[in-house]
Structure 1
Amino acid sequence: MTEWDNWIGREQVQRDTLDNALANRWFATFNLDASPIGMMPQGIHLCLCTPEAPQTALGKDGHPKRDESDQSFFPPIPLPRRMWAASEIEFLEPIPIGADIERTSRIASIAEKEGKSGKLGFVDVEHVTKANGVIAVRDKQTLVYRDAVAGDAPLSPPEPSSAAFDAASWDQHQQITPDPRLLFRFSALTFNTHRIHYDLPYARDVERYRGLVVHGPLMASLLLQMAVKVLGENKLKTFNFRAVSPAIADEPLHMAIRKSGDGYELGTFASDGRQCVKASATA
């Protein structure tokens, strides 16, 4: 039980259109050719029904403010640092370009925990995305809220060590270097104004990151595109990912996939092998 349990069950409905302009911007961001069959690749739902808070309703970090009002979808947990911790995604139908989109979001659970870094607040949100009236994606998203950090706290993550990522045990491997332009474009696609992704002084001096932080959903999108190379487009039934450690812009990022039992294991890694995202998928 928490003092915010009355938020459990609160719903929000948003509508959008996956028009050609959005589709083209998505393909351009990831250096992909447009779909010849008019269907978008899996992961496009992350860029639909984006936040609609007006500028005056944003907090210092860039996220929409949270308060006790009926208009505040998220509970006002008094922990200032918000992160997208994980998602459990079920793909049911491909989303065509031109589709009318409706997303219903519901607060599923709220929990408080004590971690090594202090108090933590967890909020699970269930999203159901429909395209032209048909359920296309179910996504259970976990957000975590954390305490502020001291102004003299060590920067996170540590500088890369002399170790190197070993790709030998993976079926496929790809290396990219996500730069601030990619982060800016993905922030624009998702209408994400969290300053850790584009405001270096804020990321470094306030939230104590060593540089601009690569979005977790951006890394998830890149892993989904790696799955396309192995399985083909729109073949996954499920995709789960969890943020493990921050990835920093302008530093090499390794993406890898391998068969694992009845499904697939995926991950993103820093140059020294430190894991940033863990993921699994079934087809």
Structure 2
Amino acid sequence: MGQWDAWIGRMEHRQDHVDPALVRRWLAMLDRDGLPDDRVPQGLHWCLCTPETATAGLGPDGHPLRDSSPDSFLPPVPLPRRMWASSKLEFLAPLAAGEIVGRRSAVLSISEKSGGSGHLVFVDIEHLTEGAKGPAIREVQTIVYREAASSDAPRTPPPPCDTVFDVSDWTTHRTILPSEPMLFRYSALTFNSHRIHYDLPYARDVERYRGLVVHGPLTATLLLDLASQEWGDNALSSFTFRGLTPAIGGELLHLVMRADGENVEFGAFADDGRAVMAATAIRKI
């Protein structure tokens, strides 16, 4: 028996409204025009059914505090640094602006590992988002908790080197500068108060990042938007992504894609070629 076994199977239910104003703000964050119909592009679900913890209930990092009470959905892992490591998504049906949605979340597994990165705890959570016509998005999200960084730890990621990202192996390529306003807007849209995304002294001096960190799901959203620009909205039936190294706000990000029939491969890279995110998808054909 593991010390966190009581949390496996724990469930949480939330309800939300796909407010057309939220959709417009999300599109504005991405510098996109309005939609031709009421179907919502893939990725906006991360702005729905967000935690509504009171400000007094937030921890030093800006995330909701966790405890051992039956009301605590996530286990009180005593590791202070939290990262969204990966997600596996199935897009079952498009959401529509104006509809009521519900999300059922369940803790699937909790595992501990130790290695070169120190002690780690991985928590897998299944989220099922349902719209007016039934299941819309099924996602298995992996969160990893890590030890605190020492005050003299090297900042991550390392400073850019002299190499240049090679786009020759990719068929679709776009560059974007995830600016501080974009990071702020995404934090606001997702009600995410994790301080690594907006509090530079905290990100740099406490968690030892080289700058403000681009949200993992924001990078994933930018890759989904790359597919939308190529094939139109809601073109994918599945999407899996894994964070590799942090993207830093204010630094150029390369978004790339290549397809072989229905199979699609994505990547996000820093300007010097450092891999930020890897993703795969199945395209509807």
The TM-score normalised by the length of structure 1 is 0.98
What is the aligned partner in structure 2 of residue 214 from structure 1? 214
Question: Which residue does the alignment assign to 1:196?
Answer: 196
1:225 corresponds in structure 2 to: 225
C-alpha separation between the residues in 2 aligned to 1:163 and 1:231?
Answer: 32
Higher mean C-alpha deviation, range 162-171 or range 222-231:
222-231
- The amino acid across from 2:245 in the alignment is S
- Is the contact made by 1:4 and 1:110 (CA closer than 8 Å) also made in structure 2? yes
Q: Who is 1:103 aligned against?
A: 103
In structure 1, the residue matched to 2:270 is: 270
- For the residue of structure 2 that corresponds to 1:2, the secondary structure is coil
2:32 corresponds in structure 1 to 32
Q: Secondary structure at the match of 2:104?
A: strand
Counterparts of 1:260 and 1:241, CA distance in 2 = 18
Pairwise CA distance, 1:169: 0.7
* Deviation by residue 1:162-191 (Cα, 9 ceiling, x = unmatched): 000011110110011111100000000000
* Higher alpha-carbon deviation: 125-134 or 177-186: 125-134
2:236 aligned counterpart, secondary structure: coil
Report the secondary structure of 1:237's partner residue: strand
2:61 is equivalent to residue 61 of structure 1: yes
Render the CA deviation track for 1:137-179: whole Å, top value 9, x for unaligned. Answer: 0010000000001001000000000000011110110011111
Unaligned stretches of 5+ residues in structure 2: none
- SS of residue in 2 equivalent to 1:96: coil
Deviation at 1:33, TM superposition (A): 1.1
- 1:254 deviation in Å? 0.3
CA–CA separation in structure 1 for the residues paired with 2:2 and 2:174:
43
1:115 positional shift: 2.4
Equivalences for 1:148-159 in 2 at 5 Å?
A: 148-159=148-159
Q: What residue identity is the alignment partner of 1:271?
A: D
Map residues 1-283 of structure 1 onto 2, 5 A cutoff: 1-260=1-260, 262-283=262-283
**2-side partners of 1:209 and 1:29: how far apart?**
24
- Between the aligned partners of 2:46 and 2:151, the Cα distance in structure 1 is 33
Shift of 1:214: 0.3
Contact 1:175 1:255 in 2 (8 A): yes
Unpaired runs of 5+ in structure 1? none
Report the alpha carbon displacement of residue 262 of structure 1 after superposing the two structures with TM.
4.3
Please give the secondary structure, in 2, of the residue aligned with 1:67: coil
Contact 1:2–1:112 (8 Å) recurs in 2 = no
RMSD: 0.9
Q: Distance in 1 between matches of 2:262 and 2:179?
A: 35
Q: Secondary structure at the match of 2:250?
A: coil
**TM-score, structure 2 normalization:** 0.98
